[in-house]
Amino acid sequence: MEVEFIGSFENESQCPVVEMPEFAYIGRSNVGKSSLINMLVGRKEVARTSKKPGKTQTINLFKIEEKWMIADLPGYGYAKVSKKQRKKWELLIERYLLLRPNLVCTFVLIDIRHPLQKNDLDFINWLGERAIPFALVYTKSDKLKSTDVPAHAQRIRDELLRYWHALPREFITSAAKKGGREDLLGYIEELTSDFYLAKDSRTDGQA
């Protein structure tokens, strides 16, 4: 898969304007975001992986196959950072999600091994309150017995359904075993096609 690193940006106003659909990836620190992105694009070092939480501190943009974009966002629930730094990252994330014009979907990553955490719930509800399209991506499914995976996913689902009437698309993934890769790429392809169809329709209407 052809991948071009566009750059790292400290706020959304610095991000270049592009006429491609953009997909953001975000989750709690150490949820496996970088590993998932690397698995998705079939490269080992596209997104930096680290055992130290808070490695991603900027909006990192990548162009994929000259068709769509990846936005690798800082994590939330940061460990061992100052309140000032935490607030700075929160503002960066909020402004990007609210103001980025070509953002099509935000993939919210959740570690399937654990019960839903409060900051996951707060962030998901924040997206819903602002009508920001998102999908749920359960990570690290290879760390569980395969027979336990459905129950762990259902536990998270049940907690969310206390606040939601229905949930968006969900994906169960494993970066180590490439689990869920084809389903995720298929969904991205579907949304990418919709983006360009809508763009062509707008262009025809202006002709």
Segments of the chain assigned E as strands: 3-9, 22-27, 59-64, 68-72, 103-111, 134-139, 170-172
Pairing of strands 103-111, 22-27: parallel
Read off the DSSP letter of residue 74. Answer: P
Read off the DSSP letter of residue 150. Answer: H
In tens, the pLDDT along 132-145 reads: 999 999 999 999 99
The predicted structure's pLDDT at residue 30? 86
Contact between residue 71 and residue 60 where contact means Cβ atoms under 8 Å apart = yes
The pair of structure tokens assigned to 39 is 């698995």
For the whole model, what pTM was predicted? Answer: 0.92
Q: Where are the domains of the chain?
A: 3-183
In tens, the pLDDT along 37-70 reads: 999 999 887 776 544 444 568 999 999 999 999 9
Burial class (CB in 10 A: 0-12, 13-18, 19+), 45: exposed
Please give the Cα distance from 54 to 76 (Å, whole number): 8
DSSP, collapsed to helix, strand or coil, labels residue 94 as helix
Contact between residue 190 and residue 21 where contact means Cβ atoms under 8 Å apart = no
The pair of structure tokens assigned to 113 is 């091994």
Contact between residue 142 and residue 116 where contact means Cβ atoms under 8 Å apart = no
Smallest CA-to-CA distance from 110 within 13, 181, 29 is with 29
> Which CATH number does 3-183 carry?
3.40.50.300
Instruction: Considering only residues 203 and 66, tell me which one the structure prediction assigns the higher pLDDT.
Output: 66
